[in-house]
Chains A and B, each alone.
Chain A
Amino acid sequence: MATSGFELLWQTAPQLATGAGRTLAISACGIALATVLGLAYGIGRTLGIAWLDRSLRVYLAAWRAIPVLVWLYLFFFGLPMFLGLSVPAFACVVCVLGLWGASEVGEVVRGALRSLPAGQRDAALAIGLGRLQAYAWVLLPLARKRMTPGVINVYTRIIKTSSLAVLIGVVDVTKIAQQIIERTYASVTLYSFLFVFFFLACYPLSVLSRRLEQRWSH
């Protein structure tokens, strides 16, 4: 079985590679979006602007209370139905992963910023930095070590959650594997493949996390 398993993977390599590529593309785009919006969320919640803080809390609650899958259906089926706005499946998944990831990354960023002594912001402002400059040059760099493990954890969750894409018809690595299983019944081989694939996609991120924490430990 072992040989035939590898043979099967070898034969189906082109399809699997396409699927893997799509999964990685969805994940990378989702992560990029989650990072940019998550930083904005974290900054927004520490500016001390009451209405902004309240709005962002509602945003967080919405993403925490409703399953990501439901959000995905809402975007994919709901937007065309209610707004007549049809979004391609790929873009839908990226948006949902990015917006959900933003709430999670944002909470990590907020927590890390909150843990800084209040005097650091005062000191940054006291030398004439603007509020956003204070974040760029002082507060975020000070908080980056503390937020790295949490943010990387969200990244790996985004990669794993990306397989929900199957449910709205995106042909990602999970879908390809399913199709091959339906044809060949080689479920053990393909599930092993998926296991190794997701491990290899996520593990380097944990290594990176540890590296960065070390680099920033002065």
Chain B
Amino acid sequence: MSDVIELRGFSKHFGAHPVLNGIDLAVRQGEVVVILGPSGCGKSTLLRCLNGLEQGSAGELRFNGERLDARSDWRAVRQQVGMVFQSYQLFGHLRVLDNILLGPLRVQKRAPQEAQAQALALLERVGLADKALAWPRELSGGQQQRIAIVRALCMNPKVMLFDEVTAALDPEMVKEVLEVILDLAEAGMTLLIVTHEMAFARAVADRIVFMDGGRIAEQSPPEAFFSNPQTARAQQFLERFSYVENLPRRKAS
């Protein structure tokens, strides 16, 4: 199948500080790519470059085969590349339904009835049909994050970007958000996911991209990556996670 997103020699620096360094990455239609890597390695910056919240400094970025740069019509691209953030970012002055409909109505100028019907169907799908008229601050973190996902989905994007969307959640709410993402993966949507939930990464990914210091250090299918990482950095990275999971019980005093 064709590549939806294609990066070639893509680099980004903030001032003199290089953050992305010659990234080569191609994402196929319907593929689920999970990006792992230590803090500060450039995962968020990479996602933000894909919908133009940051502009690359060198190299090439293509979306559906079309080359994108600072002069491209990013408003059109963003309607096809939905993004969900760690801290939900619902708009506090709008009720849930109006949060979801802002893009469809103001940007896409869709018919209100049709857009609203889709919004309600999506709310139903994430189990929040009864929250359409709630204010964001009345909702739990997990609920807000599911609404944020619906807000992005209601634009009918081709690709969804998830940047550590469960990192700010209490453990008991992580599941409800991950289930929604799994559901999207099952439905064949193209997803790029940054996460620190290793078990989830393993379960959802078609491919793991491991980044380190602004480069892609290795790319492998999830089973291969988790059982047999190729680079020393990836091994260290995974050891730190398994260390926490396999922490031996403290001897009773």
Q: Which residues on A are within 8 Å of B, measured CB to CB? A: 117, 119-120, 122-130, 133, 137-138, 141-142, 144, 216, 218
B53 near A128 (CB under 8 angstroms)?
Answer: no
Cβ proximity bits B57-93 to A, threshold 8 Å, 1 near / 0 not = 0000000000000000001101100110101011111
Interface stretch, picked from B11-19, B101-109, B182-190, B232-240, is: B101-109
Question: With A122-B53, A122-B85, A123-B85 in contact, do A128 and B103 touch (Cβ < 8 Å)?
Answer: yes
- For B104, the closest partner residue in chain A by CB is A127
Would you call B118 an interface residue if the criterion is a C-beta within 8 Å of the partner chain's C-beta atoms?
Answer: no
- For B136, the closest partner residue in chain A by CB is A218
A142 near B87 (CB under 8 angstroms)?
Answer: no
Would you call B200 an interface residue if the criterion is a C-beta within 8 Å of the partner chain's C-beta atoms?
Answer: no
Enumerate chain A residues within 8 angstroms of B106, measured Cβ to Cβ.
129, 133, 137
Enumerate chain B residues within 8 angstroms of A133, measured Cβ to Cβ.
106-107
Enumerate chain A residues within 8 angstroms of B91, measured Cβ to Cβ.
120, 123-124, 138, 141-142
B93 near A127 (CB under 8 angstroms)?
Answer: no
How distant is A111 from chain B, measured CB to nearest CB, in Å?
18
Q: Which residues on B are within 8 Å of A, measured CB to CB? A: 48, 51, 53, 75-76, 78-79, 82-83, 85, 87, 89-94, 102-103, 106-108, 135, 137, 148, 151-152, 155
| CB-contact partner of B75 in A128, A137, A144, A218, under 8 A | A128
| CB-contact partner of B102 in A122, A125, A137, A142, under 8 A | A137
Enumerate chain A residues within 8 angstroms of B85, measured Cβ to Cβ.
119, 122-123, 126
C-alpha gap A125/B92 in the complex (Å) = 16
C-alpha gap A205/B111 in the complex (Å) = 39
How distant is A115 from chain B, measured CB to nearest CB, in Å?
13
How distant is A113 from chain B, measured CB to nearest CB, in Å?
14
A128 near B87 (CB under 8 angstroms)?
Answer: no
How distant is A134 from chain B, measured CB to nearest CB, in Å?
10
With A127-B78, A128-B103, A142-B93 known, 13 other A-B pairs at CB within 8 A are A119-B85, A119-B89, A123-B90, A123-B91, A124-B91, A125-B53, A126-B82, A126-B83, A127-B107, A144-B93, A216-B93, A218-B92, A218-B137
